[in-house]
Chain A
Amino acid sequence: MSSEGFSIPIIHNSISIMTPFLLAAIGGLMTELSGMLNIALEGLILIGAFFSVIFAAATGSLLLGILLGILMTILVSWVFGAITIYLKANVFITGLATNLLASGLTAVLSFHIFGTKGVLMFEELPPLPSLNVPPLHKIPVLGDIFFGHNVFVYMSWIIVVIAWFAIYRTPFGFRLRGTGSNPKAMIAIGLNPQNYQMLGILISGFTCGLAGAVLTLNLGAYVPHISSGRGWIALVVIYLGGKTPFGILGAAFVFGLAESFSNYAQGFIDIPADFILAFPYIITAAAMVIMSIVQNRNED
């Protein structure tokens, strides 16, 4: 097999793998820009994953499943936001609360509705449509890398572009960034920073709902704790991406690549499966420490 032969599938896969990170990180970015650290991403992804797949199964429609799943996620993010902002609770603790709520709620509902807390298979669900543009698909290398993914992949790219416009080219973006940078500036001109913080959280609910839907609908099944740390990694992706949408796209791709490569390596090197699972956390932690070292150097 030529080197091209195995590197192309790795890149192709990494593009699929990065999608949930990317979506969650873009939503988390909105919260971050409004001046809050959103550690609820993990729980929100889980909520989206669970509800989108069971609603899709119940209604028989992928689209309805996705929409209702997102709606549920936004609802949970609203609870998180309202308690944090209006009841003035500590955002870290309420973020943990959201994660705890998500893992509790999904287990309880899974048990109540399906009688099991294990894997829920939905074999009758149609697969996610994927995008194949016949002539373009034929382009060597690029065609193999960029086409043949499911629609969410392309949607996530569109969301990156929309996020960029929203942040840098709309009044909303200016006010959101203004809130994060100097809330007093907002108050001085009579704008309520709380509204923008809330929007920042609700948007993260939207994108995390979508991220969750990608995970389960792609699989046609719900696996308990399917978010498995993606929300936390997304949080670090936001920082590594320099808090810009395209930076996040790049950082998410690097993570996707790392995970894709370790999946690939598993095939012919004898690494215990648990180490493969630990790998994303290790590189994320390492990336975080390295970044803070670099930042510290620059400031001195």
Chain B
Amino acid sequence: MESYLSMKNISKTFGVTGLKANDNVTLDVRRGEIHALVGENGAGKTTLMNILYGIMQPDSGTISLNGKELKILNPIAANKAGIGMVHQHSRLVNEFTVAQNVVLGAEPKKAAIFFDNRKAEAEVAAVIEKNRFHISPEMKISEISVGQMQQVEIIKMLYRKAELLILDEPTSILTEQEIQRLFDTLRELIKRGKTVILITHKLSEVKDISDRITVMRKGRIVSVKDTADVDEREISKMMVGKSVIFDFAKGEEGCRETVLSLEKVSIRKKRQGHPILDNISFNASSCEIVGITGVAGNGLTELEDVIAGLQKISSGSIYHNDEDITNISPKALRERGLAYVPTDRLKRGSSLDTSVKENLILTSHHDFMKRCGVFDDNKISEHSRRLISEYKIDGHSDVPIGTLSGGNIQKVILARELDNVKDFVLFSEPTWGLDVASSEFIYEKMLEMRARGVAVVLISSNIDEILTLADTIFVMYRGRLVAGRASGPDLTREVIGEYMLGLKDDFRGEE
């Protein structure tokens, strides 16, 4: 079949890190299909689509649509060519109504100068009806759900007469029903002759909705298949590559003593109907790695912030060595010996314009004072030299940490946090976007902590990571824990996947 969209030999390298986000990528999409673009985090999917939508320019390569070569310099050019993109995070103006957001930039007018709100609502209502959306054009964005916001984004593109729709991870923040509704919409659009590119890393969805699949790994295309010809296992293998099998022994059970415990922790926000965290209870003990997993948007981030003391809880209690530490300040928590490797390495975990040396002393700078109250520079340099060699950090201690590669930034954070760990450490998405060597290094450090008797909590949306490392596994779904079991041969990838999607729930009905 003739290809509708063809992106040929696209390459894109990012300045500072030198990361090859797209390496000679060639993508073909046929008219009227739902084409899934899959791959792990950091595989280069979003970069490729940003190039197609004119948000980024490729270093090399060509794009043609309907056999005509195109230069897409910006999103307006993309819109004109009939390409529309729905971003992962909604790009809407909260104060405006649905109709106002949809027509923004292409507003209907009356008397030549005035915004014609009535006409806008009528036109948007027509698009909504034609494509069978369930939303009212007069509603304000601040009053609608995340799933509806996504519908608005799609309507926005349809209003602009998009023929090819790109959806970037559209399901990651949606509930199951919303996902089904979205898929119905997509099928409806295909019937009307539109073409859809769906970026995702969720395999069940790919199987469910797509016609063809392109798999990306580390900036390259590794496979293009008809969906009907492959099963999820095969796709998964292609996504991860020859997966390095980490086979680590589990922790001893003999020395376990509760270090941290959460009891019925909940967070409620005024405007949200359901709680963001809902009655979370678990213990983390010495000599144990507790793994907590779930799909993004189900409360992992909030749980991370709660354990780190950066987010207050509405109800429940948290104990550290049987002492109540509910809602104490981050400072007090640090004084109790919290070590924490955060998800957001660049904004929270490090201060990019500050030197490696100064990043390394964030939590321990009080220990480097001379008696006269002034920093002991020799001691600080020695400290940073020791950590740089101990953690094999490739970088000088006096350069801004922002000039280091992602893996090395993470090692600096690791070095700072683990160097004076006491009895508890929290890791959140520690290997997200890192290469295998760095990941392996981090895993070893984590196991070393456990061997030293430290209680380790690992929050990760990477199931394999959880399966290989955790002694006890919890799964979160819509702010609740739906599973909490010791890891074992019965707890497979598939079983965890079922919990993650809310298909299984061990605690339903329990209060």
Contact = CB atoms under 8 A, between A and B. Distances in A.
A187 B76 CA distance: 9
Nearest to A185: B91
Given A174-B100, A181-B94, A184-B91, A189 B115 contact: no
A177 B95 contact: yes
A182 B75 contact: no
Given A188-B87, A189-B79, A190-B74, A171 B94 contact: no
Interface in A146-199: 165, 169-171, 173-175, 177-178, 181-182, 184-191
Interface residues of A, number: 19
Contact of A189 (B104, B109, B113): B104
Contacts of A182: 91-94
Given A169-B115, A171-B109, A178-B104, A189 B156 contact: yes
Contacts of B160: 189
A173 B104 CA distance: 11
Contact of A181 (B74, B95, B106, B156): B95
Interface in B89-133: 91-96, 100-101, 104-107, 109, 113-115
A174 B115 contact: yes
B318 interface: no
B198 to A, nearest CB: 18
Given A171-B109, A174-B100, A174-B107, A185 B93 contact: yes
A34 to B, nearest CB: 13
Contacts of B113: 170
Chain B at the A interface: SS class = loop
A174 B94 contact: no
A186 B92 CA distance: 9
Interface string B211-232: 0000000000000000000000
Contacts of A170: 113-115
A230 B93 CA distance: 32
A191 B54 CA distance: 13
Contact of A190 (B75, B94, B95): B75
A174 B96 contact: yes
Which of B78, B95, B109, B156 has its CB near the most chain A CB atoms (within 10 A)?
A: B95
A190 B83 CA distance: 12
Interface string B68-85: 000000111111000001
A191 B105 contact: yes
Interface in B147-190: 156, 160
A186 B94 CA distance: 13
Nearest to B80: A190
Given A170-B115, A188-B85, A181 B93 contact: yes
Contacts of B101: 185
B91 A175 contact: no
A187 B75 contact: yes
A117 to B, nearest CB: 44
A175 B105 CA distance: 7
Contacts of A178: 93, 96, 104
B325 to A, nearest CB: 22
B309 to A, nearest CB: 19
A171 to B, nearest CB: 4
A177 B104 CA distance: 11
B52 to A, nearest CB: 14
A247 to B, nearest CB: 15
Contacts of A188: 75, 85, 87, 91
A188 B102 CA distance: 12
Interface of A: 165, 169-171, 173-175, 177-178, 181-182, 184-191
Task: Give 10 closest A-B pairs by Cβ, nearest first.
Answer: A190-B76, A171-B107, A190-B75, A188-B91, A189-B105, A185-B91, A178-B93, A181-B93, A184-B91, A191-B105
14 contacts: A170-B114, A171-B109, A177-B96, A178-B93, A185-B91, A187-B75, A187-B91, A188-B75, A189-B76, A189-B104, A189-B156, A190-B74, A190-B77, A190-B78
Given A171-B109, A181-B93, A191-B104, 7 more contacts: A165-B114, A177-B95, A178-B93, A182-B92, A185-B91, A190-B76, A190-B79
